[in-house]
Chains A and B, each alone.
Chain A
Amino acid sequence: MPPLVFRSGGVFLPAAKLSGVKTVSAAGRAWRTLQRDRYALAGGVGVLTFIGLALLAPYVSPYDPNFQFRDGLSPVGAPVGPSGRFLFGTDLLGRDLLSRVIWGTRVSLAVGVISTLAALGLAIAVGLVSGYFRGALRTGLMWITNAVLSFPSLLLMLALVSVLPRGIWVVVFVLSVFAWAYPARVFYGEVRSVTQREFVDAARAIGAGSGRILARHILPQLIPLLVVYFTLRVPATILAEASLSFLGLGVQPPTASWGSIIYEGARAYRSAPWIFFFPGAVIALAVLSFNLLGDGLRDAFDPTSGARRRGTP
């Protein structure tokens, strides 16, 4: 902790800032580590590409994803394979597969990101409350968290989906309901350890209430963990959405997500293997990108993690 110097307006600033000495924040240090990590950078480029594809789908996709081309089906009504006109081939209804995959990026990514955000919001709340307060609240919340973790989650997801109307928002809801427990336990551990630190005692000593301590002193400490978990949970959620959609219980036609395109393609996997092949390969690329970036972020924020050696992902 650099010495603090009093400044007018009652603000304390680190002396280093006034003397012009360069200080490096934790975020700055993490960013520098990240820049040296080739795998994380590749992952970051991949993630940005997918976000770009999702945002710019109307401009990037060669055709309307729902237009049924007359030459998109062979004379006997079978989908046509990859060609110059249809790069990924066409689907069972003669629609351009590439365009559908690009538009599907929107749905898959949006579902992945929104569900993860919702789940992490819940996880943060549970983690803060159960990590900071002792007693029955902690015991109860952690019991529920562990109970949710030990559920056969896909089966319960199916049970939940079965009783709700089908649609994107239901998918988002169901995915978030089961995705919060694991990060909640991680946040809980972190909050417990942060609560032991001196600055929390200091804040309490000058009369800060629990709410203020949680929001101003403990929550900021969780941000690196939050960023890492966000990056690592999005791909897991994308895979879960693909599973639900693959069972026909996720995103409903004519909307396309990567999983729902595979679901449609599975019916014709022998005669038109490109329909299931391309969206699956794209899922793999997206998940890989997020995971590489997430692993890189984890190493960058926590130099002591030592989970991997230099040069290996």
Chain B
Amino acid sequence: MNARALVARVAGIILLLWFVATVTFLLMFAVPQDPGAAIAGPQASEQVTDNLRKVLGLDQPLYVQYGRYLWRLLHGDLGRSFVFGRPVVEMLLTHLGPSFQLAVACVIAEAAIGLPVGILSAVRPGSRFDRWAMVGTMVTLGLPHFWIGLFLLYVVGARLGWLPLGGYGGVAHLILPALAVGIAYAGWYARVIRSTLLDVMTREYVRTAWSKGLSERQVIVKHALRNALIPVITMWGLDFANFASGLVVIEAVFGWPGIGAQMVEAVLRFDVPLAMGTVLVAAVIVGVVNLVLEAIYPLLDPRLRQT
């Protein structure tokens, strides 16, 4: 990617962020619910609620609030949480670490389960293993990942007692949530690697590799697989972005203190700045990961370098 394209892409991301910021802003303020009353709580007197509105700037007209919001945003200030009184940036930073850990564990689990299944299927298409594996992926793709999570918690955590029943901690705490997500989405990886491998196997350079007398292992691992992995890298990146920007439901099941869990808390307690900040940070993560993906494609695939 040359400098010009990079600038265009970054501008695109900034435009997108502005769009997300505006949409979330309008969402939070242009709706019938009164944030002032929501924060003050049902028991608060009229005076308390009014004071609160003044302090938080909620008594200003919408465009003034919007202007202030964008101005602060430009300075990296996402405001203060209504409920906790702490700066949103600071709160998000504390949740970002756990979210990234979980996202990394989840994409590893997906690939570790899905890729071997898909590769073995593609090596013997139409075999019994292939048929059962593809039926299996259809079934697992239909399972809600939070249901797999509950199931694993019940069997591995509660009945067998092998792993902790949720919460934040070391590697042991990561295994079950990552496994739940891994099982739920591994099917995509198995299917994609299978179909791209089957496609790649018909290419001329693979035929050349066969005719050189290479072993099946060498042909598949060194020649076919390397090319078939390119679409998988895209999926990996997109999944990582999605997971890092909040595995909301899985975090709720396992009590994992990530961005998603924070979002649910913000939404349930009507913490507008926290919720808006979370959505924005999630959008930043998705945008940056997309940018990185586009930048590394030419490194992975020399065919993309000329253009």
Cβ contact of A246, chosen from B19, B20, B249, cutoff 8 A: B249
Stretch at the interface among A65-73, A211-219, A235-243: A235-243
Chain A interface helix/strand/loop/mixed: helix
| Chain A positions 231-290 with a Cβ under 8 Å from a chain B Cβ | 235, 239, 242-243, 246-249, 259, 262, 265-266, 269-270, 273, 276-277, 280, 283-288
A283 contacts B31, CB within 8 Å? Answer: no
| Chain A positions 153-167 with a Cβ under 8 Å from a chain B Cβ | 154-156, 158-164
With both beta carbons as reference points, the residue of chain A lying nearest to B275 in the complex is identified as A159
Stretch at the interface among B56-64, B90-98, B110-118, B132-140: B132-140
A155 contacts B278, CB within 8 Å? Answer: yes
Stretch at the interface among B69-77, B141-149, B205-213: B141-149
A280 contacts B267, CB within 8 Å? Answer: no
A283 contacts B144, CB within 8 Å? Answer: yes
Q: List, in ascending order, chain B residues with CB within 8 A of A154's CB.
A: 246, 248-249, 260
Tell yes or no: A124 within 8 A of B by CB.
Answer: no
Cβ contact of A242, chosen from B131, B135, B144, cutoff 8 A: B144
Q: List, in ascending order, chain B residues with CB within 8 A of A164's CB.
A: 31
Q: List, in ascending order, chain A residues with CB within 8 A of B49's CB.
A: none
A266 contacts B150, CB within 8 Å? Answer: yes
Chain B interface helix/strand/loop/mixed: helix
Interface string of A181-203 (1 = CB under 8 A from B): 00000000000000000000000
Cβ contact of B20, chosen from A151, A242, A277, A286, cutoff 8 A: A151
Tell yes or no: A313 within 8 A of B by CB.
Answer: yes
B144 contacts A158, CB within 8 Å? Answer: no
Q: List, in ascending order, chain B residues with CB within 8 A of A311's CB.
A: 126, 131
A163 contacts B28, CB within 8 Å? Answer: yes
Cβ contact of B249, chosen from A243, A285, A312, cutoff 8 A: A243
| Chain A positions 93-131 with a Cβ under 8 Å from a chain B Cβ | none
Contact residue range for chain A? 35 or more
B144 contacts A239, CB within 8 Å? Answer: yes
B146 contacts A243, CB within 8 Å? Answer: yes
Stretch at the interface among B81-89, B151-159, B299-307: B151-159
**A44 CB to closest chain B CB, in angstroms?**
15
Q: Pick the most buried of A151, A155, A309: most chain B CB atoms within 10 A of its CB.
A: A155
Tell yes or no: A307 within 8 A of B by CB.
Answer: yes
Tell yes or no: A176 within 8 A of B by CB.
Answer: no
Q: List, in ascending order, chain B residues with CB within 8 A of A283's CB.
A: 142-144, 147
Tell yes or no: B263 within 8 A of A by CB.
Answer: yes
Q: List, in ascending order, chain A residues with CB within 8 A of B278's CB.
A: 155
**A92 CB to closest chain B CB, in angstroms?**
15
With both beta carbons as reference points, the residue of chain B lying nearest to A149 in the complex is identified as B286
The 9 closest A-B pairs by CB, nearest first: A287-B142, A280-B147, A152-B282, A162-B267, A163-B31, A288-B142, A284-B142, A152-B245, A270-B158
> Can you give 21 A-B contacts (C-beta < 8 A)?
A147-B20, A151-B286, A152-B283, A152-B285, A154-B246, A154-B260, A156-B23, A158-B248, A158-B264, A163-B27, A163-B28, A265-B150, A269-B150, A269-B153, A270-B154, A280-B143, A284-B144, A291-B141, A291-B142, A312-B131, A313-B135
